[in-house]
Structure 1
Amino acid sequence: MIALDECVSPHVAMAQRDHIQLDWRVPYRTLERVRPMAWTCVCRATVYELCQGGGQAFIRRTVQLDGTPEVRETPRWPVNEARVIWAALLSGKAR
């Protein structure tokens, strides 16, 4: 287990009461090359990644509980829009 003072990646803030509900879908292949551009700390059960490829971006959510990790992804957005949503996710304004 990683101590919180040893974490180097950000943690997601608690969801605010009026947060935006993101549309989480089963992953599908639409982009040939996708790479994570930012991610949250792996010390939590749920890890988020901001992924980018082909001029589009999306957020991948992996829930690491018992058994097989559950992976879901948002729809694709233009990169700048995805960065705004990523910031909202980190601050608790989106989930």
Structure 2
Amino acid sequence: MISLDECLSPHVAVMRRGRGRLEWHAVRSGRHRVRVVAWTCSCRATVYELCVSGGRAFIRRTVQAEPVAVISETAWGVPREAWEIWAALLAGGVR
């Protein structure tokens, strides 16, 4: 098992009481070229990625489960707002 000191990517902080909940949706179908610009460490069961595509941005959540991972994403929006949500997610302000 990897110790947290050996991880290179950030971890999501524990959710703070009384904070916001993100609305998660099924992954958009279609041929969208998506670029992942930030991500959390894969040593946890749930991994988050900040993604951009065509001038829009969103957060993708992957719950690593057996037999298949469950993937969902937030609504696509303005990149500046997605970065703010990303910062809140890392700080434990939303989940």
TM range (shorter): over 0.9
Shift of 1:31: 6.5
Q: Which runs of 5+ in 2 are unaligned?
A: none
What is the CA–CA distance in structure 2 between the aligned matches of 1:56 and 1:18, rounded to whole Å?
29
| One-letter identity of the residue aligned with 2:45 | A
How does the TM-score come out when normalised to structure 2? 0.94
Q: TM-score, normalized by length of structure 1?
A: 0.94
Task: State the partner residue of 2:90.
Answer: 90
Code of the residue aligned with 2:12 in structure 1: it is V
Aligned to 1:76: 76
1:1-95 correspondence runs (5 A): 1-29=1-29, 32-95=32-95
Q: Which runs of 4+ in 1 moved over 4 A?
A: none
RMSD of aligned Cα (Å): 1.2
Alpha-carbon distance, 1:3 to partner:
1.9
Give 1:60's aligned amino acid. R
SS of structure 1 residue aligned to 2:90? helix
Alpha-carbon distance change, 77 to 91 in structure 1, aligned in 2, over 3 angstroms = same
Distance 1:61 1:8 in 2: 19
SS at 1:77's partner residue? coil
1:66 is displaced (CA, Å) by: 2.2
- 1:68 and 1:30 map into 2 onto residues whose CA distance is 21
